[in-house]
Amino acid sequence: MIEQTKALALIEATEARRADRRRFLTMAGGGAAALGGLALLSGCGGDNGSSSSMPPSTPTPTPAPTPTPTAVTDVDILNFALNLEYLEAQFYSYAVTGASLPANQLTGSGVQGGVTGGRAVPFSDPVVQQYAREIAQDETAHVAFLRSAIASAGGQAVAQPAINIDGGMAGAFTAAARAAGVIGPADTFDPYASDENFLLGAFIFEDVGVTAYKGAAPLITNKTYLEAAAGILAAEAYHAGLVRTVLYRKGIASPTLKLIENAGKISDVRDAVDGPDDLDQGIASPDGGVTSNIVPTDANGLAFSRNTGQVLNIVYLSKSMLSSGGFFPAGVNGTLRVSAAS
């Protein structure tokens, strides 16, 4: 789905991001201890979630209020999340069963699209297969839950948009893997080909879900939906922790698989498309090293946030302001559908 020039642009952006990250890490050394007080927290409230550049400040008892866009409703946010859950649920559903979500889980407002690609993974490690089953079940539950929750909020759930989870030459996974340098510019990446490829395919999504729900949390006004979103956030973080732990363990045991190195490259490409802030980390520290980095956190030990535009940069596989691309060839459904100009 991605033409050659776009893939090349992504690769260039990745290289620029590596340099950015090196500079960031140099500047951020020991930064946690130097920063003080509530100003630190206020720094986390912005759209980009980067707190480390905030200047030191005297603690004050009342934090600055965070401006919230008024036009975005809870239903808009839940529908944005539903698009992402369709993508995850279809990927895991195909990987585990070879089949799509049931047709009655795909209807709704907007243009309903089909799924391109996807097939059952011939798992060789029964433990990885079991993990895939478990995650597929959870993601399918998230689709059902969000559809139901949106209806009960008086809204209409969006239909599943067109989704590309193909493992072939024209697949979004191949475009992502090429951009990351996990494969060569003419090679194919098939996440259904092996346990290892499946884990790397899963890795592309999971941390993004965490940052998306964290970024959306302050935008949700209804406390019940907020707590539910926190429950999905936790589930995505459990999934991400599971995938990262298995990749790291297998990567240490079999260095020739280059799992740690490739996870680092995927992290870099995510970072490359979502703007100048460093919001992503591989599974070892430094990238390709042997010290584990299962938990991607900032200097304060907090997970990162992405705004909706940054999330779309990643699933559209573009750092430009677009309304379709990558895993969503016709764009997502709903009001939040444009990626950020990063």
Which residues 135-194 are close enough to bind other proteins by CB under 8 A? 135, 137-142, 144-145, 147-149, 151-153
d(CA 24, CA 297): 14
Residue from the set 27, 169, 252, 341 that interacts with other proteins by CB under 8 A: 252
DSSP annotation of 160 reads P
CB nearer other proteins, residue 4 or residue 297: 297
The answer to whether residue 274 forms part of the interface with other proteins (CB under 8 A) is: no
Tell me which stretch binds other proteins (CB under 8 A): 44-52, 180-188, 258-266, 321-329: 44-52
Residue from the set 245, 258, 286, 288 that interacts with other proteins by CB under 8 A: 245
SS3 category, 100: coil
CB nearer other proteins, residue 264 or residue 296: 296
CB of 89 to other proteins, least distance (A): 10
CB nearer other proteins, residue 126 or residue 184: 126
The answer to whether residue 30 forms part of the interface with other proteins (CB under 8 A) is: no
In the chain, the amino acid numbered 21 is: R
CB of 202 to other proteins, least distance (A): 13
Q: What angle do CA 236, 238, 241 make, to 5 degrees?
A: 110
Residue from the set 12, 15, 27, 66 that interacts with other proteins by CB under 8 A: 66
CB of 321 to other proteins, least distance (A): 24
The answer to whether residue 72 forms part of the interface with other proteins (CB under 8 A) is: no
The answer to whether residue 299 forms part of the interface with other proteins (CB under 8 A) is: yes
Residue from the set 86, 304, 316, 327 that interacts with other proteins by CB under 8 A: 304
Token digits for 291?
């010290």
CB nearer other proteins, residue 49 or residue 309: 49
CB-CB contact of 107 with 159 (8 Å): yes
Which helix H or strand E contains 275, and what residues bound it?
none
CB nearer other proteins, residue 303 or residue 315: 303
> Could you give the C-alpha distances from 102 to 67, 105, 121, 123, 331, in angstroms and in order?
40, 6, 19, 23, 21
CB-CB contact of 243 with 203 (8 Å): yes
d(CA 33, CA 30): 6
Tell me which stretch binds other proteins (CB under 8 A): 32-40, 165-173, 179-187, 190-198: 32-40
CB nearer other proteins, residue 11 or residue 295: 295
Contact set for other proteins, span 106-135 (CB under 8 A): 126-127, 130-131, 133-135
The answer to whether residue 36 forms part of the interface with other proteins (CB under 8 A) is: yes
Contact set for other proteins, span 203-242 (CB under 8 A): 210, 213-215, 217-218, 223-228, 230-235, 237-242
Token digits for 271?
């970072």
Pairing verdict, β 163-164 and 115-116: parallel
Length of the chain: 342
| Alpha-carbon dihedral 51, 207, 184, 129, rounded to 10 degrees | 160
Contacts of residue 267, Cβ cutoff 8 Å, sequence gap at least 6: 207, 280, 281, 282, 283, 287, 296
Number of chain residues interacting with other proteins (CB under 8 A): 87
Half-sphere CA count of 165, side-chain side, radius 13 A: 29
